[in-house]
Every structure is written in C-alpha cells, then in structure tokens.
A and B are shown apart, each in its own frame.
Chain A
C-alpha cells in the first residue's frame, strides 16, 4: 500500500509538469493581443504597450518564444513564484484568496450530494418501484434536465430575492449560511447522479447470491442492507464522487458568477477572457493536483470497501 501511494505521488509530479506545459501551450496559441484584451475597448498608448510587452515578454513569439517563456515560468515556479497576473497582482495571492472559498463551496455541494443522494438512493433501491422510488426518479430527471445556468438564477430569485430565505449573494468572505444556497445549487446535479447510481447499485446487489445466503442464515434485514449491500454498492458511487470533487471545484464558474463568489471558477473565467496565461496555468495546475489527489483517495478507498482489492 505504501509503495503504491509513493508511486502515485511520483507520477503526480510528472503529470503536474505535463499539464502546465499543455495548458501553457494552449494559452500561448490562443493569445492574440492580451494588452488590448486587458484594456477592453479603450485604445492603448504606445508607452503602455511597450511597458507591458517588456514586463511580460510578450514580444517572444513563435516556437522559440514559447519555450523561452515556458521555461521562464517553470524556473520561477520552482522557486515558489507563480508570477504576476497582467494587472500586476501576485498570482500566489490570488490563489490563496480564491481557493478556500471554492473548497468550502465544493465540500458543501459534495456533502449535500452524499447525505441526500446516497441516503435517498439506498431507500429508493430497497423500495424499488414504490412511490418514493418513482417520485425521486421524476425529480432527478428534472434536476438533470435543468442546466445550472437556469437553476442558479431561479434559485437566487425565488429563495434569495422573493422569499428572502437566503442572502441572494455570498461575496468573498461568506458565512456558512450564505454558502448554503450556492452549495445546494452546485451539488444538486451530483446529488441526482449519485442518487441514481446508488439506487441501481443497491437494487442489483439486493438480488445477489450473497444477500440470499445472508438472508437464509437468518441475518436481520438492517444488517444485511447496512453492512453487506451498502458496502458493495458504494464502489461506483465513490468513483463518481471522487471525480466529481474536482468537477465541482473547476466547474463552479456559473454558480460562482451568479452568487458573486470570487473563487477558482471566476478567476479561470477572468484569466481566459483577458488572455492572462500565467493566471490560467496557475489555477489549472492546482486543479490538476486536486484531481490527482482525489483519484488517489478513491483508489485507496476501494481497498477499504472491497478487501479483495490489494495494491502492491
């Protein structure tokens, strides 16, 4: 197990540099005129242009220029310096500010998905074809069908503005309560998927041979469900949720925009819009690390859930 984790950690280092290279290359290729993008529709003076061009080595173009700028970036990265965004702010500072709030939001969303999704999934799986099962089927279909871009403003309007149950926006240093609504909106999609996954898995396992054996040797139903069935049914759900954690963090662009949360999604969006290469690469690199770690965690959890799985 230890060797397995170590090997995965070493692979992570490689994957990390690989992604920075690819993302840097993509940003580089997509870059037309970041200075004009920063200025918007205002004309840029020659002095300002010369100053920014020199500061960010924007005159280095072509393949040679790409490697020059990429190695320049990696060199300062190894010294712990993520560089400056085009507006002159330290990207390290932006990351420090953006991550906590996004992590909170993603964890709330994940908690919502786990608590409500898995619980209802188990109930629906046990009482297959009952009223609960059918009504959750319809509800989850509805949630899966409505994109966040519709769901988030609707939730904000009704729960935040009209009935004033929640604050309509969360801001940069939100309370737990203010993050609850965006968390639920963000988690609702994963909730629906987690519910459907759990339900199918539980329903299938209930018909398995080992359940019949357990039943015939006289185990109480609660023990069969909570120990035997649940544990075997969780493997696909854990896989899904592990990947989903990364998705929740990177994919919160819409939710973060609607509820005014200056987190990762917002910064990625801003970076892409203003062709701010270092900003995007910095954020994506951290996202990659999040994905890698959550995948590692999922793999380790497999071993916990299924003793037949052994890592060497």
Chain B
C-alpha cells in the first residue's frame, strides 16, 4: 500500500516532464525561421503603432515599412518627395501639398488627400492623447483642439483642394515645414482605420494598414514579433526582400548573441557591454553611420554658482572629450564641439571655439578669476549607464580645476527632471537629445529658447529667441540657416550647456544579409536591405 502511494508520487514529476514535451512539440520554427527568406530585425516592444502616437525608435522602425512618408531625406539630409508630388509655398505660411497618383492602402483603398487630413486631425485632437500631437502645433487652429473640452474637432488650417492635393495653413511662417513632413506623425490613415469620423478602431493598432512598401502579415504579436511582407502594388522602388520579421527583444545582449549565431539578421544598436569585442566578433559586419543624438551637460543657469558664463566655459575647457570618447565609449560616439548635430544642413565644426578645446591651464585660471564654486556636483539618471563617463568627467574636473567633484545618481530620468523643475540644487546634470527631423530649429528651439520644451536649465536670451524666430520665418532655407547660425554663435558666448558627444549608429548584421543601411533616426532602410548571395 505504501509502496503504491510512493510510486504515484514519483510518477508526478515524470508526468509533468512528459506533458512539457507534448507542449513543446507544437511550437517549432521561431529561431530557425530564417530559411524561408525572412529577414529579421531586432526591436524592443513598441509602445504604439498608430503614426501620430509613435515617438520611440522601435515603433518608428516598424511603421517606416508600413507607410511611405510625404518626404524623405537625401544624403545631405535635405527633403526629397516620396509620396508627395510636390510641397510648395510662396510665403512659407500657406503650403500646397500635391500627392503622387497610384498609391493605394494595403486593403486596396486609393490614397486621397482626405486620408492625410483625417489622420492629422485625429493626431492633433487633444482628447485622443496622441504622443506626437505637438507636431501639429504649427498648423492654424491647433489651439482650438486643445484642453479637456476642445472648441473644434478639426484643424482650421487643413483644406482639401481635390482628391490628390490639399492646403496647409500655418499659424506663423515656417521655412522648414517641408522638412518636418518627413516625420512619421504625418503619415495618412485609411478610411478603414476609423469606426466613425475622428474615432480610431481599437483593432487598428494590432494590424496597421498603411500605403508603404510592406504590409502586415497577421497581427502584432506583443512581446514576441511583428511580421510584414512585401506589398506588390507599391508604386515606388520595390524592396529586395519579401518578408521581414521584427523580433522583439528585452535585452540587447540577447540579440547580440543571436546575431553572432546567425539567428538574427540585424541588430541596430550594439550593446555597450559588447562594444569592445564587437569589431573582432563581427568583422566587416560591424558598421557605423551618422545619427542625430547629442549628449551634453546642462548648467542650472538659475543657480548663482553657475550664472557666470566664464565659470561655465572654464568647466568646459577642463573636460578632455577626446579621452572620454576613446577610453569609455570605444569611439562609438564622437566628441562634440557644437550645439547642433553634424548631420544637419548648416552644421559648422567647433562653434564652441576656445571653450570646447581642452586646455587645463587656461581653464584653471579662468575658473579662479571667475570665482567658480569649490564643489561641483554632476547629476545623472542611474538607469542609463551614465556612471562611468560622469565619474571620468568628475575626475578630470578634480584634477584640472582643483575642485571637489561628485557624481550624483538619481534613480530615473524623471526623478532628475522633477528636481530640476523644482530648482533643487542638483549641480550640473546630463541631458540628451535626438532630433525629430533634420533641421537646426529642431535643436535650437526645444533645447535653448526661453519656452523650449526641453529647456530645463532656465536659459533665456531674448536676442537668441529673436534670431531663432526670424530663422523659422525666413523666406528660404539658406537664409533660415544663416539666422540659426547667428543664434548658435550666441550660445557659444553664453555656454548654457557643455556639448560632450554626438552619437552614431553602431550596428551589426548576420552573414545572411547585405546592404544594411541605417538613417539618422536609427531606422534600418527596409527597401535597400537584401539577402546575401
């Protein structure tokens, strides 16, 4: 009797193992699915796939395949038409957008100007809570769509001319409007996306219908993958591969292991842990390309310790950027000596002038003459891998200025911003910026103008604000750039932030693909990529 009970008990784990084996036999494929010709690209779980709600790289990568933008950027990051036939304006306020004929949505609907107008109205309407809504704030009537109970449901600045053209009226002239149209918030939405005018179907996001070179294959499989296939009715350059699988990873290191084992085809960002070994691991499959990110240290200009520009310049001169990018970032980033990214039209090298050059002796005498504080704190968010370079920077300041310097970690970036907004003493703090579209204004406006959305450091210079405004309203892009450059010269004098590093895409791919290109917004070019022969 006892023996039998014991036997029943030992049978339990056995049964469990057998049951497991049975579960396992169903899910085949997954890792070995590359054989079918699908190219796999690493992404993180996107937050959203509705164009006007997509603001992070993973979502943007996926919808860049599902949609074609009105304009894209050439090698110099100047706008070129894609889905648009032309984007014109005589006064930079009233813009006429003509669409190319022949575009259809993946469900067969013909793309018309209504699809753009409806999508933009949806994006701008505040109660819809769309993350990229602020892109529409330059269009006339945007304010009427804000607040809890908006006055209007549609933008007064959007007017349909005919099926293939529409007119956009801005609330103020903006020279870079055409450049702005390359951002994914300006994609159209098909009629099938809406259940009623202005109401998006809940199910749309699970399988977005676009007018781009790829269409969805099944639904978005959360935390797992998103599969797309070539859309044969796409009128422009056809993709070289038939299927793409966007595979969702939680950790870049796992994806890196998969690339090494030829289990994943493209890894858009090589994890920091593997930067030192990646060039030898991958050989010529390890690649870099320009990217828009910009890392800098901001001064709390409201704090009297740092209100003197000479103190700020002295600190900048005491930092050896080249050494830090080399020893800590293994040259995966580049030292920065300007206030805007080098990929932009209008970028000039070394706009910080002397203040950007490493010169410990001059730094020390300037610092002492300006009576800089004897203790410097550099605050950073502890969850972003910033400790190493902040500590290195601090050590340089200690050695070169003879001051005490500590790095202070806040748990998260939001904690850091909260403290800064309450004007608590955080000392210097780290910030980063990635552009939305390649225009100098996209750096100067949000980062340094008085009401800039990311100007957390309280920098304000009326002269600078005026120049940026004039630039935005200039009759041509060339003249706009001139104004922006004058504005940048003011920054060099005031030094509200210390530019440290410009980022680049550091990516790798498997032996199964070739022609992997990445754009300045960290997206893989899905049309150019092809299977290795």
Contact = CB atoms under 8 A, between A and B. Distances in A.
A260 B255 contact: yes
A262 B47 CA distance: 15
A48 interface: yes
A43 B446 contact: yes
A179 interface: yes
By secondary structure, the A interface counts as helix
Contacts of B257: 156-157, 160-161, 168-169
B20 A176 contact: yes
A176 B23 contact: yes
B432 A41 contact: yes
B413 A179 contact: no
B454 A227 contact: no
Interface stretch (A7-15, A69-77, A104-112, A184-192): A104-112
B25 interface: yes
Interface in B225-273: 225, 247-251, 253-255, 257-258, 260-261, 263
Contacts of A108: 17, 20
Nearest to A86: B47
B453 A111 contact: no
B126 A50 contact: yes
A310 interface: no
A32 B381 CA distance: 14
Contact of B20 (A107, A172, A173): A107
A260 B415 contact: no
B361 to A, nearest CB: 35
Nearest to B249: A260
B31 A167 contact: yes
A104 B126 contact: no
Interface string A252-268: 00001111101000100
Contacts of B412: 32, 36-37
Interface in B450-485: 453-454
Contacts of B56: 40, 42
A111 B247 contact: no
Contacts of A173: 27, 30, 224
Interface residues of B, number: 64
A213 interface: no
A45 B251 contact: no
B254 A259 contact: yes
A266 B45 CA distance: 12
Nearest to A33: B414
B16 A175 contact: no
A48 B133 contact: yes
Interface string A171-200: 111111111000000000000000000000
B129 A171 contact: no
Nearest to A176: B24
Contacts of A161: 257, 260-261
A55 interface: yes
A174 B27 contact: yes
Contacts of B383: 273
Contacts, number: 171
A175 B381 CA distance: 38
B21 interface: yes
B74 interface: no
Contacts of B251: 257-258, 260
A219 interface: no
A175 B47 contact: no
Contact of B253 (A153, A170, A304): A153
Contacts of A47: 126, 129, 133-134, 146
Contacts of B247: 171
Contacts of A89: 222
B127 interface: yes
B414 A32 contact: yes
Interface in B6-31: 6, 9, 13, 16-17, 20-21, 23-25, 27-28, 30-31
Interface of B: 2-3, 5-6, 9, 13, 16-17, 20-21, 23-25, 27-28, 30-32, 47-48, 55-56, 126-131, 133-134, 146, 148, 221-225, 247-251, 253-255, 257-258, 260-261, 263, 381, 383-384, 412-415, 417-418, 431-432, 446, 453-454
9 contacts: A36-B413, A36-B414, A41-B381, A43-B453, A48-B129, A93-B222, A110-B13, A160-B257, A175-B28
Closest 4 CB pairs of A and B: A176-B24, A51-B129, A172-B224, A36-B414
Given A111-B13, A156-B257, A171-B224, 18 more contacts: A32-B414, A36-B418, A41-B432, A48-B130, A51-B127, A97-B222, A107-B16, A161-B257, A172-B225, A174-B27, A174-B30, A175-B24, A175-B27, A227-B6, A230-B6, A257-B254, A258-B251, A266-B223
Interface of A: 32-33, 36-43, 45, 47-48, 50-52, 54-55, 87-89, 93-94, 97-98, 100, 104, 107-108, 110-111, 114-115, 153, 156-157, 160-161, 164, 167-179, 227, 230-231, 256-260, 262, 266, 270, 273, 301, 304-305, 307
